[in-house]
Structure 1
């Protein structure tokens, strides 16, 4: 099973590091294209995480579609056993990418 850790501070799919997007799309430049900003921003994210019960958190999605040049990319699907998605200054990126 794929393990996904997301540290994005403002995404509707992220709850306590769990992503419920169902399908994650990563661009050529490793940007997470599945991110949807919360209308209330990081403050709303904080409140949602306080309300979230651990037993209702979903595991990582089964499909990560990837267009990046990476050793884990096989036929535009990520085959890494674990993936980390993290905030950068201007975007949300896949931190697991390893260039061949």
Structure 2
């Protein structure tokens, strides 16, 4: 599952970077695919590869938290009670 997530994140990020890079090449009135230079294509390809590798690699490296419990079902993770908290609890328990 984690591989699929990493591939999807890498491909989507790569496409966004590629298209963003190409969009800068389309600036101007007389622009089109025939006006894009080889250097601009290479820059767009490098942007895709960097985004794909960076995002896919980082997504794969970060482990998933496999807890299936919702926040309401998770155990309370309160900090340990100090002496003053214990006194308050004792006072509450001693009330009639």
Q: TM-score category by the smaller chain?
A: under 0.3
Higher alpha-carbon Rg: 2
**TM-score of the two chains, using structure 2 as the length reference:** 0.22
**TM-score of the two chains, using structure 1 as the length reference:** 0.21
Structure with more of its chain in helix, by fraction: 2
Structure with more of its chain in strand, by fraction: 1
